[in-house]
Amino acid sequence: MILQALNSYYERLKDDLEADIPFWGFSRQKIHFALTIDLNGNLLQVFDLRDVQGSKRIPKQLIVPEVVKRTSGPPKPNFLWDNSCYVLGADNKGNLEWCQEAFEEFRKYHHKIGDELGDEGMMAVLRFLDSRQLKEATELPHWDEMAGMNLVFRLDGDLKYIHERPAIRDAWLSYLGQKSSEVVATCLVSGKEKPIARLHHDIKGVKGARAKGAAIVSFNRPAFRSYGKTQNYNAPVSGDIAFAYTAAFNHLLRFESRQKVQIGDATTVFWAERRSPLEGFMGMLLNPQDDTADTVKIRLFLEAVKDGKMPSEIVDPDIQF
């Protein structure tokens, strides 16, 4: 079962420091700018986090609190990060009324989670959101590039972002735990009785799918449902495993991944049951880059195959791939 294999892959990755994969309650997202604030919530600097690659500026991939699943309806804010509409109450699409509503929901959401926390970083964010004494967003540095993009907060003098502060991480995980699903059933992956995820996170990086991501487990029309169940309760997967398989999938599909290949309209990912050179090498073989080291490895591999030899430094016949 594909979800079971992806869950096992995640369990391996979370113990691998080089993998840098998010833990439960967090996700990897594209972040464009950081707002540096002081203890009183005053905005001191707008810091551009993007990397320059050729003529393009690429947003930084950061591990931030879990992204909210947004469908139609009222604004749904993320915790300590979001686009400028939620964080600053403005974008460049003329959605002033919607953005003001989104900002107010963002402000109330952070008071709900952070009012009793007492962390100075959290208090600084709340003061920032309550002050409403900022210059108009459109007058801020980098506004033309920042409008509609994802932003995070940083406390002046700190190297880490505010969402990375230990007390704030603990408060976020506690809040998530209180929100866990009330629907308990047998998880199709683990076989255990657990709270079931109503929605699964989006899979990003699949060619032809929506930019915001797509789902591989989804029941969005009455004809797809059975026995009166709605949404993903039709295919019950526990919340922790729904998180794990989507995190593993998104790790495989990330921009710099060497464990995916595009052939026509099909995006294919691959991994092994345990760490193996074959995982990255298969990407080199199927989709070689302009890299001298890669070219040498591929040549040696093909020469071994041509001579009827097993390239044992790459291929382990006892590993499942």
259-307 pLDDT, tens digit per residue, is 888 888 888 899 988 887 777 777 777 776 666 666 676 677 777 777 7
- Residue 63 bridge partners (DSSP): 28
Q: The tokens of 242 are what?
A: 């729904």
Q: In the prediction, which pLDDT does 224 show?
A: 80
Decide: 110 and 80 in contact? Cβ < 8 Å: yes
Residues 6+ apart with CB under 8 A from 136: 90
Domain ranges of the chain: 2-12+180-253, 32-178, 272-306
- Per-residue pLDDT band for 176 (boundaries 50, 70, 90) equals confident
Q: In the prediction, which pLDDT does 110 show?
A: 97
Cα distance between residue 110 and residue 89, in whole Å: 15
Q: In the prediction, which pLDDT does 290 show?
A: 63
Q: What are phi and psi of 230, to 5 degrees?
A: -115, 160
Angle between helices 292-306 and 277-286 in degrees, nearest 10: 90
Question: Which pLDDT tens digit goes with each residue over 196-217?
Answer: 888 888 888 888 887 778 888 8
Angle between helices 166-178 and 96-114 in degrees, nearest 10: 100
Cα distance between residue 209 and residue 207, in whole Å: 6
Cα distance between residue 40 and residue 3, in whole Å: 46
Residues 6+ apart with CB under 8 A from 183: 195, 196, 198, 233, 236
Angle at 183 between CA 181 and CA 185, to 5 degrees: 120
- Residue 56 bridge partners (DSSP): 53
Question: Which pLDDT tens digit goes with each residue over 105-155?
Answer: 999 999 999 999 989 999 999 999 998 755 578 888 889 999 999 999 999
Which amino acid, residue 257? S
